[in-house]
Amino acid sequence: MLKLALSVLLSLAFGVAIAQGAKPQYGGTLQITTWVPTLSALSWDPQEWHWKLNQDTGLYLEQLFAGDLDKSVRKGGKHRFVADAWLPSDAIRGELAERWQWEDPNTVVITLRKGVMLPDKPGVLKARELTAEDVLFSYERMEKSPKKIPAFFDHIAKVEVRDKHTVVFRFKDFFAEWDYRFGWGHYSLIMPREFGAVDARDWKNAVGSGPFQIVEFISGNSQTYAKNPNYWDKDTIGGTAYKLPFVDRMVYRTIKDEATQHTALRTARIDLLEIVRWTAVDELKKSAPQLKWAKRLASAGSFLAMRTDRKPFDDVRVRRALNMAVNKQEIVKSYYGGNAELFAYPMHPDYFGYYEPLEKMPASVKELFTYDPAKAKKLLAEAGYPNGFTFKAQVSTANFEHTELLPLIAGYLEKIGVKVEIQPMEYPAFLAAMMGRKHEPGYFMQRTHTNPTAGMRSSFFTGQTWNPSMWSDTALDRKMEEIYRTRDESKRQQMIREMTIEVLDKAPYLWLPVPYIYSAWWPWVQNFEGEMFVGALRPGPIYARIWIDQEMKKKMGF
């Protein structure tokens, strides 16, 4: 108790010093359990097109653009950088790109930074400068991948090298998502061209121009990254530019048990836990009151996807019935303890101009979020299922919340005669089932909001990889194509709002509330206020700017 009390007093005292402006420190190890705490890297090869690549490889592989952390709330700006794949246009800076300009309405010329070095990697490459040839190689390698998302780069007519530091992107027509698709998105990491001659799936071959380089990978346990001493970027603090990164090593700790995650944080075996469910917040604040906290609305929605290419879910009445049979208000109040929003998916409230609250939605949408089991039974009877039916639903055991929520949902559905056979699965098998289109009629998953356009396209566009409901609507597809060709963002916003209503109405998912989640870290983690991503799920530049106050940590007894 004496140690705890002393650490609390010291953290408060150091908090005053921090507020007055602390000088950065170099050295030490930053230990993190990320927002995907139970999963190790799924692949080290960007050509695999895994959603988790930027979390794992984005520390050593960079992109053309990134979020501008100088415009963060921490530095007096207006952006929190917590959205999973949303960078407003006023919050984008060049990373590998020094500048870019439109040469004509469909041509963007990108000038790369000079002197960005790739470190020596025995058996892979000798230290050299990153050039435009690497950008071209990276694009072509991703474009040719048999696992790529269909039509992802179809808007690009040609990518060509003009000189050592200049790359030209020529588009078939204006494309509103051009910078996200191969600039700062999920699949735009710039690889050294030597990857073409080695096994890029092997982490031991991994190398890039980023702030850290991976030096050890123990699947199911940890990923260790070492400082890149030749990293090009700097951070200006108090008028002084400091070379990055600050820490010598950075470790991702994979911890599959939620209680063990909290113990690791409480005992300072990790410095930062990026995701804490609301259920654990009060207890952690009591047991470790010196922790610092950030709260955010989850940037992913949970839902039960219903395969619309199979009976009975090919009937919209059945899908709407299941939505009305689940008491979502009760889930917000009783399951989440009020720590959730009834309606915040597929559009996130942070997407100003694109998001409309439930109260502004038409009645047909509102009733999907209103508990009405009597009407649900009536709709089932009209659809030919007066006695209900039985269906299988798959769920990943890697998601604690989902393994709790699905039985709760099944209980609601049973009251209208619909029985759910729950099939728990380890995440790799769970993901493979959807990727191979072999998943069951019910598929309970979490999907990131991504960004206003990409989220709609990837979830509801015909043939898309992340379309678990197998939704296919050619009219909707045409509307999406029109959105992408529209240069005026205000017009795109209106079109997205209308499309959102249409998708909600047709209920390919059993829509569920979106919870608030928390991050917690020790006060010796400096130059950080809960920022999460500076591109699509990519935290590397954020981690590069964190330093560890070693003296504070020592005086607090750790």
Mean pLDDT by 10 residues, the chain (558 residues): 41 41 91 95 95 96 98 93 90 97 96 98 97 98 94 95 98 95 96 97 97 98 97 96 98 96 98 95 96 94 96 98 98 95 94 93 98 98 98 94 95 98 95 95 94 91 92 94 93 96 97 96 98 96 98 95
Same domain as 279, residue 323: no
Do 356 and 449 have their domain in common?
Answer: yes
What confidence score (pLDDT) does residue 4 get? 40
Same domain assignment for residues 269 and 310: no
Angle between helices 452-460 and 489-506 (to 10 degrees): 40
Let me know whether 118 and 135 are in one domain. yes
Q: Give the pLDDT confidence score for residue 149 in this predicted structure.
A: 87
Residues 496 and 536 in one domain: no
Displacement of CA 517 from its chain's centroid (Å):
14
Pair 284, 306 in one domain: no
- Check residue 5 and give its pLDDT: 42
Same domain, 41 and 137: yes
Cβ neighbours of residue 543 closer than 8 Å, sequence gap 6 or more: 30, 32, 59, 211, 212, 245, 247, 250
Dist. CA 476–CA 273, nearest whole Å: 40
Amino acid, res. 227: K
How many domains does the chain contain in total? 2
Show contacts of 470-477: CB within 8 Å, 24+ apart. Answer: 470/307, 470/308, 470/309, 470/310, 470/437, 471/308, 471/506, 471/508, 472/308, 472/309, 473/506, 476/502, 476/503
Domain coverage including residue 285: 2-291+522-555
In 291-423, which ranges are continuous DSSP H helix?
A: 316-325, 328-330, 363-366, 373-382, 400-414
The full DSSP string for 212-271 is EEEEEEETTTEEEEEE-TT---EEEETTEEEES--SSEEEEEP---HHHHHHHHHTTSSS
Sheet with strand 107-112: strands edge to edge: 97-104, 107-112, 166-171, 156-163
Residue 206, classed as helix, strand or coil, is coil
Please tell me the distance from the alpha carbon of residue 501 to that of residue 262, in angstroms, as a whole number: 39
φ and ψ of 344, to 5 deg: -155, 30
Q: How far apart are CA 261 and CA 430, in angstroms?
A: 23
pLDDT in the model for residue 21 = 57
305 shares a domain with 231? no
One domain, residues 59 and 197: yes
Looking at the structure, do residues 268 and 377 belong to the same domain, yes or no?
no
Q: How far from the centroid of its chain's Cα atoms is residue 465's Cα?
A: 16
Residues 41 and 63 in one domain: yes
- Quick one: 533 and 497 in the same domain? no
pLDDT of 537 reads 95
Tell me the CATH number at 459.
3.10.105.10
CA distances from residue 37 to 34, 147, 250, 496, 542 in whole angstroms, order as listed = 5, 25, 15, 33, 18
Return d(Cα 179, Cα 88) in angstroms, integer.
Answer: 11
CATH number at residue 218: 3.40.190.10
Look at the block and give the residue holding tokens 């999973």.
Answer: 84
H helices of 123-212, where?
Answer: 132-143, 178-179
Preceding omega of 346 cis (within 30 degrees of 0)? yes
Verify cis geometry, omega within 30 degrees of 0, for the bond prior to 539. Answer: no
* DSSP secondary structure code for residue 335 in this structure: I
- Please give the Cα distance from 161 to 114 (Å, whole number): 15
Can you list the positions of beta strands (E) in 137-211? 156-163, 166-171
Q: Quick one: CA dihedral 254, 259, 260, 263, positive or negative?
A: positive
Instruction: Record the pTM.
Output: 0.84
Query: Which residue is listed with tokens 């999406």?
Result: 480
